[in-house]
Amino acid sequence: MYKAVFIDMDGTLLQKDHTVSEVNKNAIQRLLDKGILVVPISARPLHGLLHITQKVLPDSMPVVSLNGGYIYHNSAIIFQADISLPEVTKIHAELLLYDVSVMYYSQMKWFATQSTSAIIKEQRITDVAIQIQPIEQTIASWNTENSGPNKILIVGDTDLVIEVEQKMKSLYQDKLNVFKSQSSYLELMHLQASKTKALQFLMNRYGILREEVIAIGDNYNDKEMIEYAGVGVAMGNAPEEIKMVADYVTDTNNNDGVAKALAHYFPEK
């Protein structure tokens, strides 16, 4: 029997207009009524998630943001992992060599050194304003707070992102998680921060076994959790590489693919 379902947001639960369909809401409510743990798990920062999840899920459900770098539950942070400040300084210097937009996410705040079209696009999905300031100022404030970024997001042309990905992996493969969340989005995180690590953390917290978990996603940052879960579901709009590792391929995000997957694994009696 399945006891937990982890659902990615963009390209999975959310339609192209960034809303959750009534069909998907009803499907999730049926699981909640059965006592199933339903967890949104997203690359988005928490402030880009709560206005959506609070309309679909009760506060008793944890919310995984920043690809597992920040987990929120009952108005409290139950897990976070950040990148060390010496690494941030090195990464920033390396990225200056590329024509990319770089965003630094730390808890409920996010930062950049300049505004770009990519940053403006990200701003549209969150009510929290980005802070544009020199990286030295941001690092100084983190040093005072004894914190750092939970995620660094790099956005650029697809071919350039591939080049940056290769460079970051060559430098930080044994220090950071480096992976694409979309073809033009590259994410850097602490080694203990990933969607799969978040699954494991919450499984331990709730006493849930791997074979009792379903994970649903659509993109490269979902691949590992789809492979790890007892059942991995890929969306119909997922790249072929993601579909290949899934146990089941459902419909697209714009055609209630989540609800159809849930109906497949939790059929009405």
Known active-site residue 99: no
Residue 47's closest CA among 95, 109, 103, 93?
109
Helix, strand, coil abundance in the chain, percent, nearest 5: 40, 25, 35
- The answer to whether residues 238 and 12 touch, using CB atoms and an 8 Å cutoff, is no
Identity of residue 8: D
Structure tokens at 192: 């203990």
Distance in angstroms (rounded) separating the CA atoms of residues 62 and 74: 7
Residue tagged active-site, from 8, 10, 82, 222? 8
Structure tokens at 104: 């630094």
Helix H or strand E encompassing 7 = strand 4-7
CA 137 from chain centre, in angstroms, equals 27
Which residue do the tokens 């995180």 mark? Answer: 189
- The residues assigned a catalytic role are 8
